[in-house]
Amino acid sequence: GAGVSQSPSNKVTEKGKDVELRCDPISGHTALYWYRQRLGQGLEFLIYFQGNSAPDKSGLPSDRFSAERTGESVSTLTIQRTQQEDSAVYLCASSIDRARYEQYFGPGTRLTVT
């Protein structure tokens, strides 16, 4: 079956512009996560969605970052007024349910802020 997909695969934007990154989880997966991987750093958790519960936004680095998810489907991560330090690979993962089940990752979106 189809895995997690993300678009675009690459995005180059100018400092100060807004960007939207999209994630399509595996069908039927209720849990969805966004992570960020900056060069030379480990993956950092950003935000978590579980069904219709309020999302856990504890990993978002600033109020320029926001994310939405429609039901148990597509999620978009929005970064407003991008800064050079936002350059990273943004990875999305989904899981059948939280905790017990493994997370499956998409290929990521490589964001470059010039």
d(CA 102, CA 8): 24
The reply on whether position 48 binds another protein by CB under 8 A is yes
For residue 49, what are the β-bridge partners? Answer: 32
CB 13, CB 19: distance < 8 Å: yes
Name which position in 35, 65, 67, 72 contacts another protein (CB under 8 A): 35
Number of residues that bind another protein (CB under 8 A): 28
CA distance 15 to 112: 9
Contact assessment for residue 84 and residue 17, using Cβ atoms and an 8 Å cutoff? no
For another protein, the binding residue among 58, 70, 71, 84 (CB under 8 A) is 58
Binding segment for another protein (CB under 8 A), chosen from 19-27, 63-71, 75-83, 104-112, is 104-112
Footprint of another protein on this chain (CB under 8 A)?
A: 4, 6, 31, 33, 35, 41-43, 45, 48, 56, 58-59, 91, 93, 95, 98-108, 110
